[in-house]
Amino acid sequence: MRRLAESVRAGAGAVAPVSAKAPGQAVLLIAHRGGAAGEGALPGGRRRILAIVRGGDGPVQAGAVGEPLDLDVSVRGGLEPLRAKMTGLADRGRLHKRGGGRFAARP
């Protein structure tokens, strides 16, 4: 717990959080990290997901990404965490979400 508090204090000067008021509650606004940061800023697992999607022959489904990551694709719902990560990458502009649950790499 102390390490977390120290890291928060150390990074406190880097970005000044902005707070706002919503009806009945206080809200902390956090700046959205855009695509300006390089791919190296992503966690290793997300970099591997991007590499697998880029290596595919077009849009791929989560199952095609889960197999090289050694995930059990036969378990129902076992790919949901992976699908959520892929959707997050799409929300941040790293992947393009296509119809039918397929994801493609952004150029």
Does any domain span residue 20?
no
* Total domains in the fold of the chain: 1
Does any domain span residue 14?
no
The enclosing domain of 43 has a CATH number of: 1.10.10.10
Q: What is the pLDDT of residues 35-80, one digit of tens each?
A: 556 777 778 889 999 999 999 889 999 999 999 998 888 887 889 9
pTM score: 0.64
Does any domain span residue 21?
no
Residue 103 near residue 96 (C-beta atoms within 8 A)? yes
Residue 41 confidence (pLDDT): 75
Q: Which letter does DSSP use for residue 73 in this model?
A: T
Q: What is the dihedral of CA 46, 50, 56, 61, to 10 degrees?
A: 50
Reported as type and span, the H/E element at residue 91 is: helix 80-91
Most confident range (mean pLDDT) of 7-16, 29-38, 63-72 is: 63-72
Measured CA distances, 53 to 5, 34, 35 (Å)? 37, 20, 18
Does any domain span residue 13?
no
The range of the structural domain enclosing residue 90 comes to: 39-105
